[in-house]
Structure 1
């Protein structure tokens, strides 16, 4: 199968969709039946860049200043994509994000979530307008639609009327770097950050309202002073949209000296941060999957999370579920996992077992099934 995969998203810093694409490409290439060509906007290649490509920040600044920037870039991409796909005798096109380019043959798209419906205020105005204009026709045109979870598949059927037969659930996996690590392997790298293995709480995610960081800040403030002194709260994630919504809460917390904002973390640094945490706090209000939850479980780290969207589908019985807004219960859950070693150990063991149900090989198998379905359509 000669597959064209749109890899333009890899020009951005690697958050969830970027990690999905990197790991899926590697898993697909392990199958000898798949010939994969990557389209990256200005051209094609077989190679995957190791980090965000230069110029992404310039594009972001340009997009904010130029009306219709998304349409202009899309028109340029479309022209280059058509020429390249024709030369490569592409049999099928896979779009891993929201709006596919035009392609004369079969097309598969991955729809990770419906954030644009539930939280439209978290999207730049021009981008939201483009999503709304293109998402309906794209879903009609796709022979098969991949989703990360059954939750999102059900949402797509409900909101867009897509038949279940055209949907293929392909749960995500976790990279090999996410695994339990003994304290002595982590001390040096964590010491640079002023942290000790097993002696901090961790939040991971882009800083935007949907991630509900304020929930954790409020619950953390309720912890006894002695506990906060022993267990600082570490927040890892790049700035997102509408960060001003919780900027006051965050600045107040940072001023205390017990909350630390690390910003975006690259692959190895994030894996070490997760492995060294006492627990992951993940209060997100909406996720199509929730990759940090799986990565934490694979690292042997218990997770306290909101029972929302696809998160229970990922964490299963391993998760400690607390409703958003219940600050006292969030605080009490954190205290239990700090003060009760047996509870912590039980959650850790359950998470490690749960993580074994997920792999990028399995994700690739479901993806290839979608390719076959599209080619037979």
Structure 2
């Protein structure tokens, strides 16, 4: 069996949850003899693919700051993907995002679509910039897809809530993480900060709810003057964010760090807790990353996060400042809770793996032959 993956999630941004998902899927498949695959990609600066033997793309890091360079790369990658689709030299097609460019070229070949979340459907009115105009595209792709993979039971329920999809063609395949590969017990890097800190990971805008988190945490920070916040990834702080920190008299205690796998492990390992205040997540890979590094997690009680975290986390209402502050105060002050959550996180991680994700995805492909 041969599967063709396309370029979509690997064009443009060097990092991202969707491209990480497909990279880990292909990396697991590359270790197996019962499946062959191809990635139709010509131009990419995706960091996950940097050392991947299964991709022959060309990098263009010197042009990465130019919007037109990404646009040109996207056009060329799309043309190449269409060429590979039209060749018909595959059994299953698995696009890596929601674009219908291939529908007039795929013919009767089966294709599998992964549905990540319904964030744009849930919050489109509140945040119009979220996937504007993508609903009809998703609907068309879902109608044509032979099988739809959802990354959590929550994302499946959202799919069925917002789209007219036959439940019988929907399969839930949970995700995993390989963050543990970067965790070497014998080589623990020094703490990135000579003070206790809470860790926030990823984008901070819109439904990610960073501003709500910062507002709620201010009384805790003022009560514990040695406590800091580190934000990993998501881009450098904006002028508005800097003004927010300044107005709260906390500018010296909120720090930004760029995102790399090795650096992120160190940040997780030394954090008092990883805090995830998001209003909506299809799965929540950072939860598993934190578990891998022995970091306690404090989570929003919304969307898929309770499904992933189970009893290995403490939860708060992300729209209630008191609820969030109380949960964080608990992990800051209670050493027994800190130790208990670390142990439970390690145990919970055993339920997830990238190889398990790959095996269940392969079974989806095989069901369509």
Quote how far apart the aligned CAs of 1:32 are.
Answer: 1.0
Asked if 1:359 corresponds to 2:353, the answer is yes
Higher helix residue share: 1
Quote how far apart the aligned CAs of 1:292 are.
Answer: 0.6
Asked if 1:165 corresponds to 2:168, the answer is yes
Decide whether the 8 Å contact of 1:287 with 1:311 is kept in 2. yes
Q: Distance in 2 between matches of 1:216 and 1:26?
A: 35
Runs of 5+ unmatched residues, structure 2: 45-52
- CA separation of 1:60 and 1:252: change in aligned 2, threshold 3 A: farther
Runs of 5+ unmatched residues, structure 1: 64-68
Quote how far apart the aligned CAs of 1:3 are.
Answer: 0.9
Quote how far apart the aligned CAs of 1:88 are.
Answer: 6.3
Q: Aligned to 1:134, which of 132, 137, 152?
A: 137
Q: Distance in 2 between matches of 1:299 and 1:46?
A: 28
Decide whether the 8 Å contact of 2:245 with 2:251 is kept in 1. no
Query: SS state of the match for residue 26, structure 2?
Result: helix
Aligned to 1:80: 80
Quote how far apart the aligned CAs of 1:321 are.
Answer: 0.7
Query: SS state of the match for residue 4, structure 2?
Result: strand
Q: Distance in 1 between matches of 2:84 and 2:143?
A: 24
Q: Distance in 1 between matches of 2:94 and 2:177?
A: 21
Q: Distance in 1 between matches of 2:214 and 2:285?
A: 21
Q: Distance in 2 between matches of 1:181 and 1:38?
A: 31
Quote how far apart the aligned CAs of 1:60 are.
Answer: 6.7
Decide whether the 8 Å contact of 1:97 with 1:112 is kept in 2. no
Per the normalisation by structure 2, the TM-score is 0.85
Aligned to 2:260: 266
Quote how far apart the aligned CAs of 1:58 are.
Answer: 2.5
How much is the aligned-residue C-alpha RMSD, in angstroms?
3.1
- CA separation of 1:265 and 1:77: change in aligned 2, threshold 3 A: closer
Decide whether the 8 Å contact of 1:108 with 1:374 is kept in 2. no
Query: Which runs of structure 2 are paired with 1:219-230 in the superposition (5 Å)?
Result: 219-223=216-220, 225=222, 227-229=224-226
Aligned to 1:38: 39
Quote how far apart the aligned CAs of 1:124 are.
Answer: 4.5
Q: Aligned to 1:58, which of 51, 66, 73?
A: 66
Query: Which runs of structure 2 are paired with 1:68-147 in the superposition (5 Å)?
Result: 77-87=77-87, 89-100=89-100, 101-102=102-103, 103-104=106-107, 105-120=109-124, 122=127, 124=129, 128-129=132-133, 131-147=134-150
Q: Aligned to 2:158, which of 155, 158, 178?
A: 155
Decide whether the 8 Å contact of 1:93 with 1:107 is kept in 2. yes
Q: How many residues align?
A: 355
